[in-house]
Amino acid sequence: MLTMRRADRIVAVTLGLMGAGMVCGAAAGAAAVAFIMLLTGGFEFVIEGAVVGAVCGAVLGTVTAPFLSWLLLRRVPLGRMFFVCSVGTMLGGIVGGLYGAFLGCFVAALILHALFAPPHQRA
């Protein structure tokens, strides 16, 4: 049964996941765009590119962190989840832009889900 106390806890956890996702997504987005710009020789616009990457990453992280946490990653420790999904986001963003970042995060989440599934559910 969903009591008010439990509902408050769910809202608080979801807001915390959104905040942490925003920070990790911003860091991953900024790092990915800055890396791409340094590789392609856009040295004069690295800061501006990193800011744009951070904003896009923050939006992506704010949405995907609670979504993936509640649906796929309930058994995964939060630190590991945010680290692995951030690395997946960064690598995906380097390879495929914004869509690649989302796909990289999702693939990282699927791998974590498979690694932390109960033994009877592992393939």
The b/e string for 78-93 (b: 16+ C-beta within 10 A; e otherwise) is eeebbebbbbbbbbbb
Give the structural domain span for 105. Answer: 4-121
| Tens digit of each residue's pLDDT (9 = 90 or more) over 33-86 | 999 999 998 888 899 999 999 999 999 999 999 999 999 999 999 999 999 999
User: Is the model's pLDDT at 123 over the cut of 80?
Assistant: no
Global pTM reads: 0.88
What is the domain count for the chain? 1
- For the stretch 109-118, pLDDT in tens is 999 999 998 8
DSSP of 32-56? HHHHHHHHHT-GGGHHHHHHHHHHH
| Cβ pair 88, 50 in contact under 8 A | no
